[in-house]
Structure 1
Amino acid sequence: MTTTTPSTAADPAGSRPASSKAPGTDNRPGRLLAVVIAAQFMALLDVFIVNVAAPTIRTELGASGAGLQLVIAGYTITYAVLLITGARLGDRLGHRRVYLMGLAIFTVASLACGLSQGTGELIAFRLLQGAGSALLIPQVLSLIQRNFTGEARTKALGAYSAVLAVGAAAGQVLGGVLVSADLFGTGWRPVFLVNVPVGVVLLVMARRVLPRDAARRPGQGRRERGLDLPGLVLLGGAVSLLTVPLVLGQQEGWPLWSWLSMGSAVVLFALFCAYESRLARGGGAPLIAPRVLRIPGMGLAVFRITAVMAVNAGFLFVLTLHIQGGLGYSALRAGLTFAPTAVVFGAVGLTWRHWPAAAQRALIPGGFALTAVSAVAVGLLLRDGGEGGPWLYAAFVGIGAGLSLGFSPTLTRALSTVRPEDAADASGLLSTVAQLGQLIGVACYGALFLNRLESQGAPGAYSSADALLVCAYALAAAAALGAVSGLVRLRR
């Protein structure tokens, strides 16, 4: 449900308290924190708020299933690929400057999304939205690190964690409210347009409260890391060549080009890995440092986080299509239906460290196993085209708790083994992997659901339930693999 963002190690000059601002800025730390946290919340909302609006977008724009998947996944594509680059641009150009740049792009793109007249336009502007988030989000933690110290920093990070915990639930509920309200007959458009006034207000406030970026001379401060543009192009190409055929292949009947594209993605990713290794050996700054992947346990962490986020995104996408398309739920009811999953995910993520020590070692495999059982339960409870009854919400709670137990301890333990000098690269790697996991989940499980639905003939509650059940088994299989990976760690 939530992901970390890459942070950079604070240098001595960057660790000043919030009160030390340049002239002309508001020196009240509470306002600075409110501005950066509000931007984080807005961008996080946009990941989930659109999910609830998906069926309405499909109806009003006449979007195909593949087009709808790209509307959902387009944001994640550019966000995932550009995330590390956004963090490095903040180091090079200044966190205030890049924050304002990203917020402006995100706000303009939100307006363009809300005014889109066709699926192609909406997909293009969702890609632009993701690029804005990739510039904006990495600056949030950096600005907190550089402007708060001691107890103030602890409280600021607590507020940051709270936003991550409630953002998913709030996004789904707010999306349901906005779509169901159908303000002035605008249907799904307010889920994007709501960002515009908020973004404008934040831009005005940010120019006032964010500290000005200090002028830097060549050789002053810590060494700047390169942007690794060739690595960015190779990774972006590999992700695109994999995503597009996964999304469009089912609709087109899996033509030859789709298989060639996925094969090319594998080749391009191999070239990316080879280039990154060569760049690292030459003393450069690769997008993903190979040495980070060699940290004990990091490979397993990458797999588990990918599995968690793929299952999470796939579950939300296919269940949204079923309960709104198959069961006829309103967008508001759909958003409220998902709320227990998101709330429990956040609550478990914030409290698992305080659980009994005897249970700590079994949290990860136990979480994945709970997810697998709960996913199958959801499919079986809804398989006859019914609404599932109260046990359905118990299964939703199980999925939220299970995914959180698979994600949060994995992330914490992986980063705890990283040396301070590798912390930024490790955080960036896991953040990127989390986003790519969401992308894979929407593409793969969405294609499976839509393919099964179309094979059943005319859409309806029963055929939709059958497609959902197939996806539930597939989701459970992925979670079971995560449980096996957790047992590897447990045995060690």
Structure 2
Amino acid sequence: MTQSAALSPPLAAQPERAKASGLLLAVILLGQFLAVLNVNIVNVATPTIEADLRSSGAGLQMIVAGYTIVYAVLLITGARVGDLFGYRRAFLYGLALFTLTTLGCGLAPSTGALVGFRFAQGAGAAMMMPQVLTLIQRNYQGPARGRALGLWSAVVSGGIVVGQALGGILLGLGAGWRIVFLVMVPIGALLLVAGARALPADQGGGRGGLDPWGLLTLSAAVLLFVVPLVLGRELHWPLWGWISMALSVVMFGVFVRVERWVTGRGGRPLVDARVLRAPGMRPGLGVLLLGPATWGAFLFTSALHLQGELHLSPFASGMMMVPCAVAFAVVGLLWPRLPAGLQRPLVPFGYVVAAPAYVGLGLAAGGGALYAVMSALIGAGLGVQVAVTNMATEQVDDAYAADASGALLTVMQLGQVIGVSTVGTLFISLSQAHSGSSASMGTAIAMATLAVLAGLCSLFLARRRALNVA
């Protein structure tokens, strides 16, 4: 069982705390919504950005994945900053950086500048977003935590709905791709004002430091793997790219050794082995790597396929994704309300639904109602990921809440980067060498394979929880 790290207030203060807690949840979830909106509104705009800035395929992938790469690498450090210096301060500073760099994206004159601002956006999000799950885990227990995580899942999927739809509406009005960034600037500014008033003050003072050596080696390992995947196709897979990917494996090994060295010296590593030993964390990490990989690949390739091969307008393309996101939200919201005996098998079953739905999506590459149905099934299947998050962290002590949240979110974001860089590269290569239908079917099979692997990992997660409950 987890132990609460928060002190209970006097009885007379309980009503005031309940009110503050609800306002706290609203503010941090709005911040989460803004970050998710930023990812998905860009997916719809990629064909327009390509035409206006004359971006290459690699440039488009970096515009989408660059934000996520930095976000993934810095998430654990962002969680640690909140633990050390206060969650309120980390959230607000991260939101400020995110808002300023979003303005920079909207004014970027070239693909290179846009990629640079996207990297900086990712740093702001990495400072802001880990505080969300950490605050939920530290302030909500039992069914309340499940409900809060259900709302968190709904906000994630809601950002997908609004991102796809709003991006399509703005582009359909002829406002240009820049508006998809600029529209978020006043939202971020208003949220900064509200957050400064609503978020409770905290002193920080957490354990240990920031582990700069761990951050350096992890960053190097991720970049050595992702950059050649994104750039390799257009450069005809040069030798340096293969060497870089091989070195990434070596660097991941160096990262593990560095973390052991930090632990041996009494420091606090980025990834504490005690967190990984918690029941459910390891299979949960496997599921949250593979499942989001299919999700990131699906969102990236769908926008290119619908607006490219099928010549749909940005608005129509965005609307095609709404059934998927709505189904994702519904499953995430309903899961905590199910009997405990149904929650465990729901997770593997979700991937049983998603895998064949990906294949069906490839067969329905011509669009229409069947395409929308298949995308809804994909959303319903992947909606169980909120259950994965809860099951993976329920046995983690609150003293390690920031570490667990950072590790899970890092793996989720790395999964999306891997999906965009690998399956996205496959889609672009097949589109240029063969027909659009061949590209859709090839990537559908790849995404289905990843979903099957995620389902296999989830079997271990469900079994582990069953044993704990027994």
Q: Shared fold by TM > 0.5?
A: yes
- Once structures 1 and 2 are overlaid, which stretch shifts more, 351-360 or 262-271? 351-360
SS at match of 2:167: helix
What's the counterpart of residue 468 of structure 2? none
- Work out the CA distance in 1 between the residues paired with 2:236 and 2:462: 43
State the distance in 2 between where 1:17 and 1:358 align: 33
1:485 matched to 2:457:
yes
- The alignment's C-alpha RMSD in Å is 3.0
- The 1:362–1:155 alpha-carbon spacing in structure 2 relative to 1, beyond 3 Å, is closer
Take 2:462 and 2:216, find their aligned partners in 1: how far apart are those partners? 38
Query: In the alignment, which residue of structure 2 is the partner of 1:402?
Result: 381
Aligned to 1:201: 190
Q: 1:446 aligns with which of 418, 424, 427?
A: 424
Question: Which of 325, 348, 354 pairs up with 1:342?
Answer: 325
* Segment drifting more, 472-481 vs 287-296: 287-296
Cα displacement string for residues 420-448 of structure 1 (whole angstroms, at most 9, x for unaligned residues): 43333222211110010011000001100
Say if 1:234 and 1:268, in contact at 8 Å, map to a contact too.
Answer: yes
Q: TM-score, structure 2 length as denominator?
A: 0.89
Which of residues 297, 304, 308 is equivalent to 1:321? 304
Letter in 1 for 2:125: S
- What is the aligned partner in structure 1 of residue 169 from structure 2? 177
Correspondent of 2:7 among 5, 12, 36: 12
Distance in 2 (CA, whole Å) between partners of 1:151 and 1:483 is 25
Q: Quickly say closer, same or farther: Cα 1:291–1:81, change in 2 above 3 A.
A: same
Alignment of 1:198-277 (within 5 A): 198-214=187-203, 223-277=206-260
Contact 2:5 2:399 in 1 (8 A): no
- 1:465 and 2:437 correspond: yes
Once residues 28 and 409 of structure 1 are traced to their aligned partners in structure 2, the CA distance between those partners, rounded to angstroms, is 26
Shift of 1:10: 4.0
1:412 to 386, 390, 394: 390
- The residue type equivalent to 1:397 in the other structure is A
Q: Provide the residue aligned with 1:434 in structure 2.
A: 412
Residue 250 of structure 1 aligns to a residue in which SS?
A: coil
CA contact (8 A) 1:9 1:423 kept: no
Secondary structure of the structure 1 residue equivalent to 2:352: helix
Unaligned runs of 5+ in 1: 1-7, 21-26, 217-221, 457-462
Q: 1:398 to 1:159 in 2, by over 3 A?
A: closer
Worse-matched range after superposition: 441-450 or 32-41: 32-41
d(CA) in 1 for partners of 2:330 and 2:137? 24
The answer to whether 1:99 aligns with 2:83 is no
Contact 2:84 2:206 in 1 (8 A): no
1:116 counterpart (108, 123, 135)? 108
* Residue correspondences, number: 460
**CA positional deviation for 1:206:** 3.1
- Contact map agreement 2:76 2:406 (CA 8 A) in 1: yes
Q: Which is further off, 66-75 or 426-435?
A: 426-435
Cα separation, 2, equivalents of 1:154 and 1:313: 25
CA distance in 1, matches of 2:451, 2:150: 29
Residue identity opposite 2:404 in structure 1: A
Query: Residue 252 of structure 1 aligns to a residue in which SS?
Result: coil
Matches of residues 31-110 of structure 1 in structure 2 within 5 Å?
A: 33-110=25-102
Whether the aligned pair in 2 keeps the contact of 1:308 and 1:437 (CA below 8 Å) is yes
User: Is 1:425 aligned to residue 406 of structure 2?
Assistant: no
Q: Aligned pair 1:331/2:310, yes or no?
A: no
Q: Is the 8 A contact 1:17 1:148 kept in 2?
A: no
1:79 and 1:276 map into 2 onto residues whose CA distance is 20
Change (3 A) 1:107 1:325: same
Asked if residue 285 in structure 1 is aligned to residue 268 in structure 2, the reply is yes
CA distance in 2, matches of 1:211, 1:112: 30
User: In structure 2, do the counterparts of structure 1 residues 249 and 46 end up closer, same or farther at CA, with 3 Å as the change threshold?
Assistant: same
> How far, CA to CA, are the matches of 2:20 and 2:9 in structure 1?
18
Distance 1:464 1:211, change over 3 A: same
* Cα distance in 2 between the residues matched to 1:157 and 1:298: 17
> CA separation in 2, counterparts of 1:34 and 1:206?
10
SS of corresponding position for 1:12? coil
Tell me if the contact between 2:284 and 2:458 (Cα under 8 Å) persists in the aligned partners.
no
Q: Deviations over 1:38-85 (max 9, x none)?
A: 222211211211111111111111111111000000111111111111
Amino acid of the structure 1 residue aligned with 2:7: P
The range that moved more, 196-205 or 71-80, is 196-205
Please tell me the residue identity of whatever aligns with 1:478.
L
Deviations, residues 380-399 of structure 1 (Å, cap 9, x unaligned): 121xxx22x32222211211
Give the equivalent residue in structure 2 for 1:219.
none
Between 158-167 and 245-254, report the one with greater CA deviation.
158-167
In structure 2, the residue matched to 1:191 is: 180
CA contact (8 A) 2:221 2:251 kept: yes
The amino acid of 2:266's aligned partner reads G
Alignment of 1:327-406 (within 5 A): 327-355=310-338, 359-382=342-365, 386-387=366-367, 389-405=368-384
Distance 2:347 2:27 in 1: 35
Structure 1 residue 349: deviation in Å?
1.5
Inter-partner Cα distance in structure 2 for 1:146 and 1:486:
25
C-alpha deviations, 1:138-175, integer Å up to 9, x for none? 23455667889999999877754542342221221111
Q: 1:238/1:96 Cα in 2 relative to 1: closer, same or farther (>3 Å)?
A: same
Secondary structure, aligned partner of 1:243? helix
